[in-house]
Structure 1
Amino acid sequence: MLPQPSGGRPIAGEGEPTVRRERGALVVTVTGHLDIDNIEPLSGTLRRAAEDGVAPVVIDLSAVTFADSATINVLLQAHHALGPALRLAAPSTVLARLFTLTGLDTVLPLYASVAQAIDAESPASPMADSGREG
C-alpha cells in the first residue's frame, strides 16, 4: 500500500530505495514517507548488503519527510547486521528531530552529508564533525 498525500492519491515510488556505488560505498537513497506500509524494500536492500558483506553502506536520508517506529526498527536491525559499515547521511530535519528525541543520534552513526559518510574513518565521527553540537 502506498502512502497517501493529503489529496488522497498514492505517491509512486515513495519509500522505494535507489542504490548506487560511489567511491567504494553502497549509497542507498530513500525519499518521502517511510512507514510500516513501505519499509520492506529498504529493509530488503539493507539485508542483502549485510549478507553480501558490502561496506560501507551509506543511507541518504535527506529527502525523507516522515518515519515511524518500523523505520527505526529497520535502521537498528541494519546497525546490528552491518555494524560500523552502516552510516546514515544527511538526515532531513524531520529525521534529525526523531533521532534526537529517541536518542538514536547517540547509537547510530550520523553524518551531515553523503560525502562525509563515505569518507569517514570510523563510525564514531558523527555529525559533530560538521559543527553540530549535541
Structure 2
Amino acid sequence: ETTRVMSLLLGAIASVSLLVGGIGIMNIMLVSVTERTREIGIRMAIGARQRDILAQFLFEALMISVAGCLIGLLVGIGGALLTNALTDMVIVISGTSVLVAFAVAAGIGIFFGYYPAHRAAALDPIEALRHQ
C-alpha cells in the first residue's frame, strides 16, 4: 500500500513538473516569436512558407526540451549513483525508463511549442515587417 501511494505521489509530482516545464517552453517561445517578428516577416517576404516558419519554431522548441531532458537525465542518474554510493540502497536505472523520459520530454516540447510556432507562421508578412 505504501509503495502504491508513493508511486502515485511521484507520478503526480512528475506530471506537475512536466506541465510547468511545458509552460516555460511555451513562454520562452512566445517571447522569441515576439522578438523576432521582423525576421519572420523578412523570411516570409523572400519566400518562406508558413510550414517553413512552423518547422523552424517547432525545432527550436524541441531543442529546448531535449536540452532540458539531457540536464534532467544527468541530474537524475547522478543522484541515483550518489545514493548508491552513500547508502545501502540499490537504485537500478533501466534503459527503457531513460528512453521513455526522453520521448515524453520531447513530446512535451513539441506540444507546448506548437502554439507559438503556429502564431509565428500565421503572421502577416507586411505587418511583421512594420514591427519595431
TM-score (norm 2): 0.26
Q: Which of these two proteins has the greater Rg computed from alpha carbons?
A: 2
Taking structure 1 as the reference length, the TM-score comes to 0.25
| Greater relative CO, 1 or 2 (CA 8 Å, sep 6+) | 2
More helix per residue: 2
